[in-house]
Structures are given as structure tokens and as C-alpha cells.
Structure 1
Amino acid sequence: MGRKKTVEFDESPPDDYDVENPYKDPVAWLEMREHIVREKWIDIEKAKIIRERLKWCYRVEGINHYQKCRHLVNQYIDSTRGIGWGKDARPPSVHGPKPADESE
């Protein structure tokens, strides 16, 4: 028996989670909660990476940042839409749901 060459993560939600009765299986409920939190953290970290790239673009491009960094601004706005933890008490109509990825 040797070591595995790659690390494998289970990135899917639990199979036995029931949406209609979430508290029926406490283990599946906890796994689903952990899955949701993990996905939110991934979205937050993606937004941070795009923000750092946007800062770098602003510094490098100077006065031309309106034209040169526009694509990063749009990516940053799309990546931050709907990823908060819900503590700001704004209705979803204000910040909107996450737009569907059109590349898929």
C-alpha cells in the first residue's frame, strides 16, 4: 500500500440530504451546512483575488484605468453579487442573485 499521487476532495453536496425535511438526518444536515459554507468561502476568496488584480491594474494603467480595467471591474462586481453572509439585512432584490455563467 503506497501513498496516493493526488489529493481528492469530495466537493459535492451530500446525497442523502432531504430539502423538504432537512432535520430528518442530522449528519446530512451538518454536511450540507459545511458544503454551503465551503462554497461561500471559495466565492469570497475568488472575489479577493479579482480585487487584488484590479488594484494592480489601477496602479499600472494610471489614467487609462477606465478603459483598461473595465473587464476586471465587471468581474469583481459579478463575483461579489450575492456572496455575503446575510448580515446586512438587504433584500435580495437590492444586491440580486448571482448571475448565471453564460460560458457553460
Structure 2
Amino acid sequence: MRTVIIAVVTIIIETILLWLLSLWIGVNIMEILLLGGISIFGVVWFFQHGSTYASNQVNSMTRGWTGLDAGGVRVFRFKFGPIVFGLLIFILISLVITVVYYGGDLA
């Protein structure tokens, strides 16, 4: 239940942020909905990757300079928590909304 609440709050916050961004740059929210969702997901992925990279770099430097075992090098594994789950649901919802919104122009 806690995961669902955090995911829903994530979706609401992401929607508000993208809506405010669309107002700020003066475009329709439909123009940035899908790409904004993917971009925010990418930022989260880069932060997780950067954290693992920095940890591996520190552990390697410690081992190289002192010879002490500082934990070794870890393989990057993307963590799926409730926030990432909410981001992925937002991307899926925005994809459906975008296809319905722009698909109506094709018919």
C-alpha cells in the first residue's frame, strides 16, 4: 500500500512539474508530456549510475594507493523502488495520452 501511495504522489508531482514547465516556456503540456517523463526517468537513472560509478572509483583508488580492500567494484544494477515505479507508470500513461491526442489527427 505504501508503494502505491508513493508512486501516485510521484505521478502527481511529475505532472505538476511538467505543467509548470509548460506554462513557463509557453507551450501546451501535450508538447512536453512524454519527452519530459522520459527525461525525468533518465535523470534518475543517471543519478543511480553516477552513485555506483563514484563508489567504484573511490574503492579502486583506495585499493590502489593503500592496498586495503575497500569493498571492491560493484556492477551497476538499476533499483526499482516506488519512485521509479511511479515514473514508469507516468511514462506509460503519457504515451497512451499522446497517442490518443495526436492519433485523433490521423483519422
TM-score range with shorter-chain normalisation?
0.3 to 0.5
TM-score, normalisation: structure 2 = 0.38
- Per the normalisation by structure 1, the TM-score is 0.39
Q: Going by fraction, where is helix more abundant, 1 or 2? A: 2
Q: Which has the higher contact order (CA 8 A, sep 6+)?
A: 2
